[in-house]
Structure 1
Amino acid sequence: MPVRNPLDALTLRPTEFLRSAWPWRSLVYLSGGAVLGFATVLAALALILVGAVLSIVAIGLACYVAMILSGVVVARMERRRLRLVDLDELPDPHRPVPEPGVRAWLRTRLREQATWRELGYATVSAGLLCWMDSLVVGAVFYVVGATFGAPFYMTDEPMANRLALAVAGVPLTLVLAWPVTAWAGARAAMARAILAPRAHDAAERLIEVTRSRARLVDAFEVERRRIERDLHDGAQQRMVAMNIQLGMARLELPPGSPAEKYLVEAQSLAKQALTEIRELIRGVHPKVLTDRGLAAAAGEVASTVPLPVDLTFTLPGRLSAALEVTAYFVIVEALTNVTKHSGATRASVSGRVDQGRLIVEVRDDGRGGADPAGGSGLLGLADRVAVLDGTVAIASPPGGPTALRVEIPVPPDESPPLTSVRAGQTAGARA
Structure 2
Amino acid sequence: MTSAPPPHLTDALRRRGYLLTSWPWRAVAYLVTTVPIAGVLSIGLLVLGAPLLAAVNAARQHGRPIPLALVLFLAVGSLITLASAPLVSVAVTAIERWRLRLVDARPLPVQRWQGVAGRYTTATAWREVAHTFWLGSVVPLGYGMFALLLLLDLTLVASPWLAGDADQVIVVWTTVDTPRQAVPYAILGVLLVPVFWYGLGVIAAVQAAVARWLLGRPTDGAALREVTRSRTRLANAYEAERRRIERDVHDGAQPRLTSLTLQLGLARLDVPSDSPAARPLAIAHEQAKELMTTLRQIVHGIRPQSLTDLGLAGAVREQADEATIPVTVHADIGRSLPDVIEMTAYFVVSECLGNVARHARATRAEVRLTQAGDQLVVEVSDDGVGGADPARGTGLTGLADRVAAANGRLLLASPPGGPTLVRVELPCRT
Relative contact order, CA 8 A, sep 6+: which one is greater? 1
